[in-house]
Structure 1
Amino acid sequence: MRIGIIGAGALGGTFAALLSQAGHEVEVAARGTVRAAIQARGIRLSGGFGDVIAEVAVAERLTVRPELVLVCTKAQDAEAAIAANRERIDGAPVVVVQNGLEGVDTASRLLPRSRCFGLLSLIAADHSEPGVVHVTATAESRLGRGDGSAGPEAVRLAALLSDAVPVLAIDDFRGAQWTKLVVNMVNAVPAIVGSTLGDVVADSGLLAVLTASMRECVRIGIARGVRFVALNGLDDASLRDFASLPLAEATAVPSALVSRMSWEQNRGSTQQSLRRGQPTEIDYLNGAVVREASIAALAAPVNAALTALVHEVEAAGRPLPRARVLDVLALV
């Protein structure tokens, strides 16, 4: 099958390499140093899925009309990237591989002739340099759309993508997006202080802030009528219990999550963007909680503060002192 992949970072590179290895005709849309590196050396993948060097077609925009499209950009880049490729891809099925809550809606608005789906990847990967990806943790991804049943097209696409990586079509994709958003709350604090997740959960003060952001996210989700779908060992019942716990007791949940997923050495995608000198997708993670809170006529002060601190790190080009993060506890 002809598969177009827009974006060749950690996840785009992983899917491109493995789908090419599985025998699909893959073309990647990438820019700048990433495009140049793939043209010169292919995509070099290592880690959990094995070692692969994939020679794939690459251009700034897709040049061949694909039969399936994967949008693997950061959330903040999705609209411009889809618009740049719209002439080639409108009408093809589109899978948005992205954090946050808005990716499928954005693609559907820009591509009215396409059926658009979302994919929640639970793969942990490090995009250390252009064209090079190291997978640190493998996991089954989830594919769907909206809050209804998965449907036959989602099942077909999940089976096709499973040629490369395990993908499961699921009902109530919106609920799964919210659970993933809760999980993605682990990104902000390590990015602000420049530490690993293991260092953060070992620090009682930083762990309390991380926990407060997760708990606030769950409470806003509940206010928005969300039923959380099971991911990463978290489900609706456990998250509702978590939201009602005192902060000191609730810290056990992110600690267990990091341990269960073997994320102690993980720095998270937000910190990876900062280390490459690129804008982060914090407005689509912690910032999404703030927007959803506003819709529910509520406030999300912890996530608003963490969003602002990540932007401060973006502007300064260096981590902030631990004490700046601990100031957030006054908002709990």
Structure 2
Amino acid sequence: MNTDAILDAEGLGRTFTRQPLLAERLLSLVGRRPDIPVARAVRSVDLSVRRGEVLGLVGESGCGKSTLGRMITGITRPTAGRIRYNGVAMDEMTPKARRDFTLGVQMIFQDPYASLNPRQRVGDILAEPLRVHRLARGGPAIRERVDGALAEVGLDPSYRDRYPHQFSGGQRQRIGIARALIVEPDLLVCDEPIAALDVSIQAQVINLFLELRARRALTYLFISHDLSVVHHVADRVAIMYLGQIVEFAPAAELFATPAHPYTRTLLSEIPSVRNRKRRFHAVRGELPSPLRPPPGCAFHPRCAFAMDRCRIEAPTLRAIGTGRTVSCHLFADERDPNDASVPS
């Protein structure tokens, strides 16, 4: 366990099954449980979020990033492993510690409109957690907290009387941020918080996150598929592929010298004004289904460096430097993948 971590995840996993009710019905009728495919969305993830840092979590759509984030916030229950908040495991928390965790870890969702109740005014949306958790008593005190939260995210306090549909996408995301901040959290799990916004608004919201971090000494788990954004905001970066962390490193080192072939391929395809004439390509192949993951290394069907060993033996995370780990047989064989180029 990391002593300076605000949150630790150890061996965290989550599986999903199809048609569980049908399976129970067949069990009662025929006396045996049918074989139902199991999707391993997250597979034995170890993750430590240090107090005051921005930890970026990067990967393609469908790799399990959002599921991991929802487990960390307590929205989704893990089927394996455990989570510690301020050194205390969730399954060992007292009622008070559980309440501190519920308030201390907040999530900002990708779709701001879907996360807001369309039947409630903004003022009522922001006031609800204050009333439920008794963080403020009396109408004037609650209204003062609501107005302060709106002002902090750059919205006029008079907007409290409007409904979510009366705002733009960027304004709705600011409301979502205000709702998370109003309970004074320590850790914000940001699940693709700018993916649904116009490009012209994304920079404004990113700057807001950075301002709030400096003002409140917040800790972020910043989930994104946009490496250029992660490069701008993150202190450390975890690369996720098919439910597993395949590389973990300080942001500056990862972007300067990526180790895992998947990371190298992702970084090579970041658009840049320096490569205006270059033709960019997506990572070759498709992300395998978590229902039927490939044997051995999950990335081997798409990897330019795949060996026979990669097809039968899954690599494990191993240290390749201070604060750096990678899951790749190229390093286990003491070979340096930076000596070769990743083909486009």
| Normalised TM-score (structure 2) | 0.29
Q: Which protein has the bigger helix share?
A: 1
Q: Which has the higher strand share?
A: 2
When Rg is computed on C-alpha atoms for both structures, the one with the higher figure is 2
- Structure with higher RCO (Cα < 8 A, 6+ apart): 2
